[in-house]
Structure 1
């Protein structure tokens, strides 16, 4: 395949090969930044930390937490077929989620850096029979090397954002060469279908969004009981997966609404937990009583702002809050996944910047399953309305659930599309056993 590569990918492959000796410098910097697990750093060089299990192996790759969680139901289906699963990702937080939320027989490895020698070492060890890439995390050496080995590659839950699409159109030869590595591209929506086809994907199908089929987020029963006892009969509002610039808006909204709702408790769950102390400082400057969950605190009777700066507990907070604001939407980040609170009966409030989940939010808004706050002032107005109106909250939550149920089914469609590849793996395994 190398002979047919566009100049850009040829240069990339040569440059990345020459960069292999510099990998140690990159690893050192990432270790200092806390972005790597020191005990598993060899995985970034393609050196496996566990043995390959016998039998057919499906390799699934997702960039980070959202992509990994999107594959949960699909992984359960594959395991039910007695297939072993190798799940790779690129972040420590995603590795922690896999350890906490997935069965122990699901093997997690960090994806190797996209250096030819590291990629070859990774593929030599794992020898997967099928590779599934989630959404759009496309590493050139990884894809090209897998394609050279005739490894079947399928893009699942494919998404091409409004930002990425015009950028890739300017480098159509490059993206077309990468997309041609895939036997099949399964997209979240018809718009994604059109974009991948326009960029040169040779075989595209719309299968729907796997995130619509995920189970409701779990919650530890003991932690739930303790938190519920601590919050008592207070009015609880959760701002989930918030980003810089949003916490100030949320804290100001609390100050204004607490005049009329003295029992109000605002829970802020930052997208990046390490920002917890900085958010607590913002609340303290506004003369509000604040506590941090990372310090083991539970909200007391006089707590105004409870900063839930921990990982993997959104299911807990969605269960205690009748109203949830989805972060990353009052600032131009692109919004966070609204499906998770919808499955736990929360009334959803969001800002205008939701391009990461554009189709889902559009459907929710159209069918009155969520409310759009266009600016901070409207955010306060709508939040006041929802906190004071249980009928409106319940109607919003019920509509959101109906939308999620109706738009589901992506796992079934994905499994149906993968069946020829899975059958081939079983045939090859039968021949090997014979």
Structure 2
């Protein structure tokens, strides 16, 4: 928690309870994140003349349809919101149709994650261990993906001698189980969490620490975005793209449709669906470093364009917030 920040659970969405909550805290500004489904709290906030903003506003198709049916009730509320910062141009259009007047787009805050930090000394150690061997990363993987990734390694290794596959699971606690399973299947596996080094004959290196992602993104030329080979919605493809990696994704990137579409349109992302198509992509990219660098350069360019204009968003919000001389709090709520 930042200094001077206080955590407080949002009240039940009841008119009386919401009113007492606001009267106790006496906020001068209220910021909702993504949704404003708690109508009574929003209504009571507006009644008290409190500056109100919706940041990273998003609306699923079904929600938009429901709100259209309720537009006589929704429109007056949205019209009095001081600022709606929508995730996408599509979201912005939907909020305007529903009656919001002050609609802006600064980008999706989900994509505002800064590049992961990396330890230069640890990176140098890993580089020396890898040597000149071809290497790639499957980042943020989920249960059900590692076996497919290992099979892709077995296929690609026939054309890429000495291939090193790095698996970084989304849940680091799964590292030991992943290593045991892949060893049982006959792979030579090392696990960083157990203090095991990448040996000359290691085929798969399990990195069970999220702190090492920054090192890996700086080291590898090709990254598979985990959570996308199975229906998990994927993860942020702009993270590896921002560091110039050629990006591979599975068919399930539902949570990151817009950046994936941008990267795909630019030729910076390739979609794979199984071990065979993943292996084919690895053989092509790792066998042609110039092609991998070209895709990585394009990916970085798209990522820089898609990166959220945080400074503009902060500047817009600062016009709603109280001056430093005041002591009343500003409340940020996630509906």
Measured against the shorter chain, the TM-score band is 0.7 to 0.9
Q: Give CA-to-partner distance per residue, 1:109-159, whole Å, 9 cap, x none.
A: 4x6375479989987887654343443486667656655665433222233
- Specify which structure has the higher proportion of helix: 1
Q: Match of 2:298?
A: 399
Give yes or no for contact 1:212–1:404 (8 Å, CA) kept in 2: no
Q: Match of 1:306?
A: 205
Give 1:312 shift. Answer: 3.2
Residue 79 of structure 2 corresponds to residue 183 of structure 1: no
Alignment equivalent of 1:246, drawn from 136, 139, 145: 145
**Cα distance change of structure 1 residues 268 and 123 upon mapping to structure 2, 3 Å threshold:** farther
**What TM-score comes out, normalization by structure 2 length?**
0.81
Q: Match of 2:106?
A: 207
Give yes or no for contact 1:112–1:119 (8 Å, CA) kept in 2: no
Q: Match of 2:9?
A: 112
What is the root-mean-square deviation of aligned Cα atoms in Å?
A: 3.5
Q: Match of 1:318?
A: 217
Residue 174 of structure 2 corresponds to residue 275 of structure 1: yes
Q: Give CA-to-partner distance per residue, 1:325-353, whole Å, 9 cap, x none.
A: 01122222222111111121211111222
Give yes or no for contact 1:209–1:410 (8 Å, CA) kept in 2: no
SS in 1 for 2:161: coil
Q: Match of 1:79?
A: none
Give yes or no for contact 1:114–1:139 (8 Å, CA) kept in 2: no
Greater RCO, CA 8 A, separation 6+:
2
Identify unmatched segments of 5+ residues in structure 1.
1-86, 88-103
Give yes or no for contact 2:225–2:249 (8 Å, CA) kept in 1: yes
**Cα distance change of structure 1 residues 289 and 402 upon mapping to structure 2, 3 Å threshold:** same
User: What is the CA–CA distance in structure 2 between the aligned matches of 1:144 and 1:299, rounded to whole Å?
Assistant: 58
**Cα distance change of structure 1 residues 232 and 186 upon mapping to structure 2, 3 Å threshold:** same
Give yes or no for contact 2:249–2:272 (8 Å, CA) kept in 1: yes
SS in 2 for 1:241: strand
Give 1:239 shift. Answer: 0.5
Where do 1:213-228 residues align within 5 Å?
A: 214-228=113-127
Q: Give CA-to-partner distance per residue, 1:187-217, whole Å, 9 cap, x none.
A: 1221121234455655422222345555422
SS in 2 for 1:404: helix
**Cα distance change of structure 1 residues 295 and 428 upon mapping to structure 2, 3 Å threshold:** same
Give yes or no for contact 2:225–2:248 (8 Å, CA) kept in 1: yes
**What TM-score comes out, normalization by structure 1 length?**
0.64
Give 1:258 shift. Answer: 1.7
| Paired residue total | 323
**Cα distance change of structure 1 residues 409 and 254 upon mapping to structure 2, 3 Å threshold:** closer
User: What is the CA–CA distance in structure 1 between the aligned matches of 2:122 and 2:141, rounded to whole Å?
Assistant: 22
**Cα distance change of structure 1 residues 145 and 279 upon mapping to structure 2, 3 Å threshold:** farther
Identify unmatched segments of 5+ residues in structure 2.
329-335
Where do 1:118-267 residues align within 5 Å?
A: 129-136=28-35, 150-160=49-59, 164-167=60-63, 169-170=65-66, 173=70, 176=74, 180=78, 182-198=81-97, 201=100, 203-210=102-109, 214-267=113-166
